Amino acid sequence: MISAHRKPLGRLVILRRAASLAVVGAALPAQAAGEIVDIWLTTTSDPGGRVVTRGLEQQAPVEFGPGGGTGQVTIGVDESRAYQEFEGAGASFTDTAAWLMNSSGALSEATREDTMRRLFDPNAGIGLSFLRNPMGSSDLARFDYSFDDTCCDVGDFSIEHDLADVLPLTKRAKELNPAMKIMASPWSAPAWMKDNGSMHQGWLQAQYYGEYGRYFAKYVQEYQARGVPIDYVSPQNEPGCCPGYPSMQ
């Protein structure tokens, strides 16, 4: 997939009809020459790209031609050596995304299921294979929340917030693509664990390190109990960023 911008404000998506991998040598001709590509164009009218004036309009196919440049780049691939595995590509069911798809009324049940299949089904859709969900609120949440807003231990821990939208959609995605991996990342610890008493910025207090560890464990256990295993966690999303939404040093 190749994306580019076209004046005034547009996004050009080019898909090769036949996928191939080529090693380009200095003396080799362009391997894509002669291949037909399909083009879809989405155009927006604002700098932020939020006001869509034309959405995914198919354009006339074009044919790749031989390269005309003088610069040459040689890429060497040693197929006998392996490094870190690529686990998957995907997105996230944030509070807003999950609510919009599931509870807002914007999508009918049939449209929601069709959208889920197009996103996660490896055969009927693009087969997204990785989800990174926020543990609590994030920059894409309707309001600030954690899974235990009561000081001073995690005895009141509850994932009730996620039961409405986030967990059902995550579970459905896993059903559509059983090979999908799920990762959880917090934008912030509960406000009462931090030195500024806020979900925004601040530092996790040392006295709550143990409770925060139990916070993670309870999250994994609650999701596991509902049929959604968590494959990975990270200790923090974007440490030090940002003052305008849930965050932590």
206-225: pLDDT as tens digits: 999 999 999 999 999 999 99
Mean pLDDT score of the chain:
88
Q: How many residues does the chain have?
A: 249
Report whether 171 contacts 219 (CB < 8 A). no
Q: How many CB atoms lie within 10 A of CB 37?
A: 15
Say yes or no to pLDDT of 101 above 70: yes
Pairing between β-strand 36-44 and β-strand 10-16 as defined by DSSP bridges: antiparallel
> Between residues 34 and 239, which one has the greater pLDDT?
239
| Domains in the chain: boundaries | 2-63, 90-233
Say yes or no to pLDDT of 3 above 90: no
Say yes or no to pLDDT of 99 above 50: yes
29 pLDDT band (50/70/90 cuts)? low
pLDDT, average across residues 95-122:
96
16 pLDDT band (50/70/90 cuts)? very low
Distance, in Å, from the CA atom of 137 to the CA atom of 246, rounded to the nearest integer, reads 7
pLDDT of residue 43: 92
150 pLDDT band (50/70/90 cuts)? very high
Q: Give Cα 18 distance to the centre of its chain.
A: 26
Say yes or no to pLDDT of 59 above 50: yes
Alpha helices in the chain (DSSP H): 95-102, 109-120, 160-164, 166-176, 209-225
Fold of domain 90-233: TIM Barrel (3.20.20)
Determine phi and psi for 199, rounding to 5 degrees: -75, -10
pLDDT, average across residues 94-121:
96
Using DSSP's 3-state secondary structure scheme, residue 181 falls into strand
